[in-house]
Amino acid sequence: MCCAACAAERSRLTEQQSANIAALIGRAYPGWMIQRSHGTWWAIGRCPDPTCGCVRTLAAPTPGGLIRELRLHLVPGPRRPQRRRVHA
């Protein structure tokens, strides 16, 4: 386990709650299959390059951690407003 907070979150979620969270993340990140298994959150999705065909797997101990992993790997997801840079 990575930390006490992760362990506490893992033990608090029921199977139904985990399924609901997985469904929410899956809707936010289409093309990724989201699941929780043995206390780990997983995202499985195809490479964005259509000529590649590989499958990518991301893992994290918490739903928030999995969302961070998805964002780090630059996959489509919820859009945040872009800040405009003003050049002097």
Tell me which residue of 39, 87, 30 sits closest to 61, measured CA to CA.
39
Query: What's the whole-number average pLDDT of the chain?
Result: 80
pLDDT of residue 79: 52
SS3 category, 45: strand
Query: Does residue 17 carry a pLDDT above 60?
Result: yes
pTM of the model: 0.69
The values of phi and psi at residue 24, to 5°, are: -65, -45
* Cα-trace Rg, the chain: 15
Confidence class of residue 52 from pLDDT cuts 50, 70 and 90? confident
pLDDT the model gives residue 75: 47
